[in-house]
């Protein structure tokens, strides 16, 4: 039984400045008679800016405070446009940003990932204070709620794992009563808390996932993600021409595409919704009346070819030094090392004497992994590659995708073609 609660998620782009926030106000105004839980990310590129502050602090460049002042200034400018000079929001924001100042004033002692979550979470705390204040200001009663009181996680900082039982209890206890009253419930995406009250985050772009967690715990009627695109498209419009909107998509399709790099929805978002058959709409905040994309249970539909591109891939070729077969004991060792280094394996292939894996090239994980293997194996790495995943491919689209690219590895399973490619520079192409 659903609860009639709808969960909306507004990302950074939808609240990037004062006009954008006003636009969001117009969108939610239409739902003022309904039970709406609203999840909001940090404004615009704030998360990147906060990451830069942490970098500056950690590497002692000396400009951390200056960078922080820029971020604060951006927030104050937006508030000036929304509320004028005199409003309690300025004190609220000062109290929020001071958390970062306290960190910057001290020598760095804590672990980077822990500090990351304590600092970066301020982006969502600040944005939600502004948006909630604005909704109240235009006569839409809104309860600002701290997501850290709702979503409980373990202490895997920067990609915390949700503890569902406690999270469910918190939602029952704290949100459901708010819906007995008038008004919206508004909270932060991306951030959560450990049982010891330390702030955690769910991974970059994790606000979609927050909305899905709340949808699950509240038995939402549906969830909607409001984006700057008309819906889920057949490919990323920043990378391809002639993309079209997909009107309906199954949970399964959405999981496959987002797992392999379709950036439109955070990959962890779908599963909680699927488990309770909660429909997900992807809609445009620019054209809010457009139909968007509806994601629901399995559909017998013919899909057009859909393309997802994951950049920053490394292809690692592993063979034994003594030319013995790369048999199961070797594979076991290789996977253990991959797990230890938290490598995300996107594709793999083996022959008798070699084994190749394509992984996300994050931080220094690949280097650490290779170091573990080098004693016993010959290891070669190709970097700066792309993994292209095509569902429901046809010849035309595959030929198009292969143009100007060097194909290093290809896999075909049922509806899916995956290719690891290198973009060939123009000069090389002319010579060939
Ligand atoms: N603000 C966070 C980020 O930019 C979370 C989100 O936007 O979903 O990654
Ligand atoms: Mg964002």
Atom nearest to 203 CA in ligand 1 = 9
DSSP state of 183: S
Residue 29 pLDDT > 50 = yes
The conformation of residue 231, written as its DSSP 8-state character, comes to S
The residue whose CA is least distant from atom 6 of ligand 1 is 205
For ligand 1, say whether the CB of 272 is within 6 Å of any of its atoms.
no
Condensed to tens digits (0 to 9), the pLDDT of residues 325-349 reads 888 999 999 999 999 999 999 999 9
What is the best residue among 41, 159, 192 to mutate for testing ligand 1's pocket, by most ligand atoms within 8 Å of CB? 41
CATH 3.40.1160.10: does it fit domain 5-296? Answer: yes
Question: Angle CA(250)–CA(254)–CA(255) in degrees, nearest 5?
Answer: 115
pLDDT for 426 equals: 55
The mean pLDDT value for 201-206 works out to: 96
What is d(CA 18, CA 77) in angstroms, rounded to the nearest whole number? Answer: 9
Q: For residue 370, how far is its CA from the centre of ligand 1 (angstroms)?
A: 31
Residue 198: what pLDDT?
Answer: 98
Report the percentage of the chain scoring pLDDT > 90.
84
Q: Are strands 354-360 and 222-227 parallel, antiparallel or unpaired?
A: unpaired
Q: Ligand 1 in contact with 117 (CB < 6 A)?
A: no
Asked if domains 5-296 and 306-431 share a fold, the reply is: no
- CB of 47 shorter than 6 A to ligand 1: yes
Q: What is the CA(124)–ligand 1 centre distance, in A?
A: 8
Mean pLDDT over residues 316-325, rounded?
A: 91
pLDDT band at residue 94 under the 50/70/90 scheme: very high
2 falls in which pLDDT band (50, 70, 90)? confident
Ligand closest to the CA atom of residue 266: 1
Kindly report, residue by residue over 298-309, the tens digit of the pLDDT.
Answer: 776 789 999 999
pLDDT of residue 367: 96
Kind and range of the H or E element at 422? strand 416-423
Q: Confidence class of residue 227 from pLDDT cuts 50, 70 and 90? A: very high
101-121 residue pLDDT tens: 999 999 999 999 999 999 999
Residue 432, pLDDT score: 38
- Span from the CA of 327 to the centroid of ligand 2 (angstroms): 43
- Nearest CA, atom 5, ligand 1: 205
Closest to 10 in 3D by CA, of 43, 56, 46, 34 = 43
What's the CA-to-centroid distance between 372 and ligand 1, angstroms? 33
Any ligand 1 atom below 6 A from CB of 222: no
Contact 273, 215 (CB under 8 A): yes
pLDDT of residue 425: 65
Counting Cα atoms < 13 Å in the Cβ hemisphere of 187 gives 28
Give the Å distance between the CA of 40 and the centre of ligand 1: 9
Map out the domains of the chain as residue ranges. 5-296, 306-431
The CA 238 to ligand 1 mean position distance, Å, reads 19
pLDDT higher at 428 or 388:
388
Q: Is the Cβ atom of 41 under 6 angstroms away from ligand 1?
A: yes
Choice from 9, 159, 188, 207 to test ligand 1 binding pocket (greatest atom count within 8 A of CB): 207
Q: Is the pLDDT of residue 429 over 50?
A: no
Q: Which of 8, 10, 12, 199 to mutate to test the pocket of ligand 1 (most atoms within 8 A of CB)?
A: 12
Pairing of the two strands 293-296 and 35-40:
unpaired
CATH number of the domain located at residue range(s) 306-431 in this protein: 3.30.2130.10
Q: What average pLDDT does this structure show over 379-399?
A: 94
Tell me the C-alpha distance between 7 and 36, whole Å.
6
Least confident of 133-142, 227-236, 375-384, 423-432: 423-432
Residue 184 and residue 98: Cα distance in Å, rounded?
28
Instruction: Answer whether 189 contacts ligand 1 (Cβ < 6 A).
Output: yes
Going by C-alpha positions, the residue among 358, 405, 363 that lies closest to residue 382 is 358
Residue from 39, 200, 206, 266 to probe ligand 1 pocket by mutation (most atoms less than 8 Å from CB): 206
Express each pLDDT in 363-379 by its tens digit.
Answer: 899 999 999 999 999 99
Cβ(207) – ligand 1 distance below 6 Å: yes
Of 72-86, 258-272, 336-350, least confident by mean pLDDT is: 258-272
Length of the chain: 432
Residue 238, pLDDT score: 85
Indicate the helix (H) or strand (E) that contains 157: none
Share of the chain above pLDDT 70, in %: 98
Under the banding of pLDDT at 50, 70 and 90, the label for residue 56 is very high
Distance CA 166, CA 193 (A): 11
Q: Which of 69-78, 84-93, 232-241 shows the lowest mean pLDDT across its residues?
A: 232-241
The residue nearest atom 2 of ligand 1, judged by CA position, is 205
């Amino acid at each position: 039984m659903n609860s009639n609660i709808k969960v909306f998620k507004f990302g950074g782009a939808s609240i990037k400045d004062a006009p954008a926030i006003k636009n969001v106000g117009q969108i939610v105004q239409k739902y003022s008679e309904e039970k709406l839980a609203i999840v909001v990310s940090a404004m615009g590129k704030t998360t990147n800016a906060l990451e830069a502050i942490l970098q500056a602090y950690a590497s002692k460049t000396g400009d951390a405070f200056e960078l922080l002042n820029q971020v604060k200034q951006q927030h104050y400018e937006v508030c000036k446009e929304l509320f004028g000079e005199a409003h309690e929001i300025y004190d609220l924001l000062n109290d929020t940003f001071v958390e970062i100042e306290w960190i910057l004033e001290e020598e760095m002692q804590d672990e980077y990932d822990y500090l990351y979550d304590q600092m970066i979470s301020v982006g969502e705390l600040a944005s939600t204070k502004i948006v909630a204040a604005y909704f109240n200001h235009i006569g839409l009663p809104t309860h600002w709620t701290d997501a850290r009181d709702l979503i409980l996680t373990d202490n895997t900082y920067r990609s915390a794992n949700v503890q569902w039982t406690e999270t469910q209890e918190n939602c029952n206890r704290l949100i459901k009563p708010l819906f007995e009253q008038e008004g919206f419930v508004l909270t932060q995406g991306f951030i959560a808390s450990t049982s010891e009250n330390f702030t955690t985050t769910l991974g970059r772009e994790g606000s979609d996932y927050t909305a899905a967690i709340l949808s699950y715990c509240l038995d939402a009627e549906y969830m909607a993600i409001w984006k700057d695109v008309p819906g889920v498209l057949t490919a990323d419009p920043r990378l391809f021409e002639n993309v079209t909107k997909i009107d309906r998509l199954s949970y399964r399709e959405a999981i496959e595409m987002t797992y392999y790099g379709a950036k439109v929805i955070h990959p962890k978002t779908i599963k909680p919704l699927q488990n309770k058959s909660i429909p997900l709409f992807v809609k445009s905040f620019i054209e809010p009346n457009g139909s968007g994309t509806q994601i629901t249970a399995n559909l017998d539909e013919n899909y057009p070819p859909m393309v997802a591109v994951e950049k920053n891939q490394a292809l690692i070729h592993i063979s034994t030094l003594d030319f013995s077969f790369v048999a199961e004991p070797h594979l076991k060792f290789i996977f253990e090392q991959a797990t230890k280094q938290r490598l995300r394996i996107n594709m793999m292939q083996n022959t008798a004497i070699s084994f190749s894996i394509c992984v996300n090239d994050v931080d220094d994980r690949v280097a650490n992994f290779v170091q573990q293997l080098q004693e016993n194996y010959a290891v070669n790495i190709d970097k700066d590659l792309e993994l292209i995943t095509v569902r429901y491919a046809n010849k035309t689209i595959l030929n198009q995708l292969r143009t100007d690219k060097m194909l290093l590895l290809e896999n075909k399973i049922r509806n899916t073609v995956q290719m690891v490619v290198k973009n060939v520079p123009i000069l090389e192409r002319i010579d060939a």
